[in-house]
Amino acid sequence: MKRHLRPGLAAIIMFACILGNRTLEADPVLHVLVQLPLLGVCGALLAPRREWCWAQGGFAPLLAALFGIAFWMLPRSIDGAVTFPVMTAAKFLSVPLIGMLLAIGWRQAHALLRGFLKAQTVSMAGFMAFLFTHSPVRLCNNYLIDDQWRLGFGFLFLAIGLAMVWTIPLLFNARPRASPRTRAEPMTHVQSGVPA
């Protein structure tokens, strides 16, 4: 995508998320699996294309993003975002920041770190699916148990979908077979720069 279009697109997404907040947050699937990722994309679109030395290897920004994601995966935080205006505001500020950090970190991350994060993402989506589909208690006071259950399945589909998106391109990597001893080239070209 053309670079100069990014801020505009980000603004549109942000605007839509804010305007549609009532509707989106009424349904946990839309709230957690649509609105939050969209806000993240917003930040990623705005991420500066610079390489900082504090972000070398991507560790610091990615770690910060992971902590942020962990925070927003607490049922308590999601409940709070629905109940308390302060938390709603925090959501609109912090989630784009998380997306931005992810984008900054991803760009500088080594292929191994990226692979690790992908595996971890699939695993954690599976874990959330497990929790939400099988918890006998309601985890959010603002959502029905059926909604929680649907959210669990949403996470399951997310886990399966991401696993497919990330592995299928690896099945047939159309490159003539090299003789076994030739140097392998790093496979970073297989992975696009899309944050997990």
Using CB under 8 A, which of 7, 57, 161, 193 touches other proteins? 57
Site for other proteins contains 23 (CB under 8 A): no
Site for other proteins contains 11 (CB under 8 A): no
> Residue with structure tokens 């992810």?
102
Q: How far is the CB of 14 from other proteins (least distance, A)?
A: 23
What interhelical angle do 75-83 and 59-73 show, nearest 10? Answer: 70
What interhelical angle do 85-108 and 6-19 show, nearest 10? Answer: 150
Q: How far is the CB of 150 from other proteins (least distance, A)?
A: 12
Positions 113 through 132 that interact with other proteins (CB under 8 A): 115-116, 119-120, 122-124, 126-127, 130-131
Q: Which is nearer to other proteins, 9 or 26 (CB)?
A: 26
What interhelical angle do 111-134 and 59-73 show, nearest 10? Answer: 10
Using CB under 8 A, which of 93, 165, 187, 194 touches other proteins? 187
Residue 186 has which token pair?
């790093």
Question: Smallest Cα–Cα separation from 97: which of 124, 125, 68, 134?
Answer: 68
130-158 as b/e: b if 16+ CB within 10 A: ebbbeeeeebbebbeeebbbbbbebbbeb
Q: Which is nearer to other proteins, 37 or 115 (CB)?
A: 115
Q: How far is the CB of 4 from other proteins (least distance, A)?
A: 30
Q: Which is nearer to other proteins, 15 or 67 (CB)?
A: 67
Site for other proteins contains 184 (CB under 8 A): yes
Q: Which is nearer to other proteins, 18 or 187 (CB)?
A: 187
Per-residue CA distances from 130 to 38, 56, 94, 119, 148 (Å): 24, 35, 26, 16, 11
Alpha helices, DSSP H only, in the chain? 6-19, 21-26, 28-30, 36-46, 59-73, 75-83, 85-108, 111-134, 145-171
Residue 195 has which token pair?
């944050």
> Among the candidate windows 3-11, 12-20, 29-37, 136-144, which touches other proteins by CB under 8 A?
136-144
Which residues of the shown chain bind other proteins in the complex (CB under 8 A)?
A: 53-57, 59-60, 63-64, 66-68, 70-71, 74-77, 79-80, 83, 111-112, 115-116, 119-120, 122-124, 126-127, 130-131, 133-145, 163, 167, 170-178, 180-187, 190
